[in-house]
């Protein structure tokens, strides 16, 4: 009996440890949390576009965008001083905000980031781990309308001799260049000696995307692509560097139905969700916020997915990409739905009644996306055909849970104990 009681005691303690992130150690900082709002651009002539969203995620993971029903396999993806963290422009309540400027492409939600006193619009992406930017080292025709970082105009930039980075995707797109350390400020919280990757070459697809001046990677640092020419020398992400000085070692994703919303670092707003947050450990060894997702439900009817791929939480993806069989099972319950190769995914009459969708997060928690939250965009100008926010991964071997999930669930990324928290948002039905 004593051994049984001891077992239950250890089990209870383990659940408590995983249940919520502990506050970080204090270092006499005035600010230990900050928000990054996302703004939707209502003036964009086309607005959200399903094919664009599918092409972006397929390119990002090197799958090659042909059509969702094609079973394409994914291709392979391709030490500075100790960082110091400072807080500036503090407000009385210990929080800061960085505004997101509306951009031409409504499918992208970018925020200004101050790098060495220069402001660039960067995309926050939990599916990668590089902080790379357009730079004045690029040809003028490649810079185009982008804001480009100029190392010559910074007194704090230090080149990391011999270091370089190279990011490539399966469709041939990518970026490469030099690496240095610089002061990076987001929402009034700055990291000195943050590794910043200075692009000296970018693919044409990035040149044409005039909205993105670069990326802030929020996955685990082991995915960082910096190398010394002979071997990888991964650098810490901004989140890893700033995390010890946050009130809690977390950031949360909270998006509205139209894609606007807020990323918050250092704090979990308990007023935004109902019930208790469910915490699930992630496989950080993959470099992604990765977990098992072997069940799904359509209108509350739970089904097993015996050949389930691993899943990741990715703020840089607009859709919820599930295994192809799961997507087919869902849309079999939607009258008039079809997987349309020309459009690039599952479409259906906008008048169709959509059932609720749920996917397993770990072994027990089912994250529900109400049918009212499934539609991603209209396909035609008459608004008669709609593109689903749930799509298939074409047999690629990875499920990617993006904005469609974050619109229905509050998701907390806990770097302290490498776990994810999920809870249904208030007012979503």
* Residues carrying an active site annotation: 125, 314
The DSSP output letter for 207 is: H
Contact call for residues 422 and 411 (beta carbons, < 8 A)? yes
Interior CA angle at 232 toward 197 and 131, to 5°? 25
Question: How many CB atoms lie under 10 A from the CB of residue 166?
Answer: 15
Cβ atoms of residues 130 and 212 within 8 Å:
no
Sign of the Cα torsion 292, 297, 303, 306 reads negative
CA distances from residue 404 to 94, 106, 374, 395, 422 in whole angstroms, order as listed:
31, 15, 7, 20, 14
Cα 310 to Cα 219, 282, 322, 400: the distances in Å are: 16, 11, 10, 9
H or E element at residue 361? strand 357-361
Tell the residue number behind the tokens 């010890």, with chain if given.
244
- Quote the tokens at residue 353: 């009644």
Q: Measure the CA–CA gap between 390 and 33, rounded to whole angstroms.
A: 32
Q: Are 379 and 387 in contact (CB under 8 A)?
A: yes
Contact 270, 281 (CB under 8 A): no
Residue pair 246/238 in contact by the 8 Å Cβ criterion: no
Residue identified by tokens 């204090």 is: 26
> Which residue in 216, 225, 120 sits closest to 167, CA to CA?
225
415 closest CA partner among 317, 289, 312, 315: 289
CB neighbours of residue 365 within 10 Å: 21
Rounded CA gap, 396 and 393, in Å?
A: 6
């Amino acid at each position: 009996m004593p051994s049984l009681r001891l077992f239950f005691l250890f089990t209870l303690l383990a659940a408590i440890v995983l249940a919520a992130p502990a506050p970080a150690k204090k270092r006499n900082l005035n600010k230990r949390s900050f928000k990054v709002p996302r703004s939707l651009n209502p003036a964009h002539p086309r607005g959200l576009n399903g094919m664009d969203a599918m092409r972006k995620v397929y390119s990002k993971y090197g799958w090659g965008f042909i059509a969702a029903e094609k079973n394409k396999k994914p291709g392979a993806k391709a030490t500075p001083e100790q960082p110091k963290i400072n807080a500036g422009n503090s407000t009385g309540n210990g929080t800061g905000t960085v505004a997101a400027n509306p951009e031409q492409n409504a499918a992208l939600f970018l925020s200004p980031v101050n790098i060495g006193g220069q402001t660039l619009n960067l995309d926050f992406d939990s599916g990668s781990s590089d902080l790379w930017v357009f730079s004045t080292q690029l040809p003028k025709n490649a810079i185009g309308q982008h804001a480009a970082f100029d190392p010559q105009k910074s007194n704090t930039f230090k080149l990391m001799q011999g270091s370089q980075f190279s990011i490539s995707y399966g469709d041939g797109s990518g970026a490469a260049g030099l690496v240095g350390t610089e002061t990076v400020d987001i929402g009034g919280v700055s990291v000195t000696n943050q590794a910043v990757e200075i692009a000296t070459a970018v693919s044409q697809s990035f040149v044409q995307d005039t909205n993105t001046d670069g990326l802030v990677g929020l996955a685990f640092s082991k995915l960082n692509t910096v190398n010394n020419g002979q071997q990888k020398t991964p650098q810490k992400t901004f989140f890893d560097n700033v995390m010890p000085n946050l009130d809690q070692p977390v950031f949360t994703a909270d998006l509205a139905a139209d894609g606007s919303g807020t990323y918050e670092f250092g704090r979990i707003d308990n007023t935004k969700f109902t019930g208790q947050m469910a915490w699930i450990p992630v496989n950080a060894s993959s470099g992604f916020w990765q977990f098992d997702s072997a069940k799904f439900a359509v209108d509350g009817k739970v089904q097993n997915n015996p050949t389930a791929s691993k899943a990741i939480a990715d703020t840089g993806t607009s859709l919820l990409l599930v295994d192809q069989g799961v997507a087919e099972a869902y849309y079999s319950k939607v009258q008039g739905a079809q997987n349309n190769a020309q459009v690039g995914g599952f479409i259906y009459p906008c008048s169709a009644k959509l059932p609720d969708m749920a996917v397993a997060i770990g072994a027990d928690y089912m994250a529900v996306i109400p049918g009212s939250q499934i539609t991603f965009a209209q396909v035609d100008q008459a608004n008669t055909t709609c593109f689903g926010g749930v799509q298939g991964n074409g047999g690629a071997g990875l499920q990617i849970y993006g904005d469609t999930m974050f619109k229905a669930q509050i998701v907390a990324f806990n770097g302290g104990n490498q776990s994810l928290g999920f809870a249904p948002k208030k007012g979503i039905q």
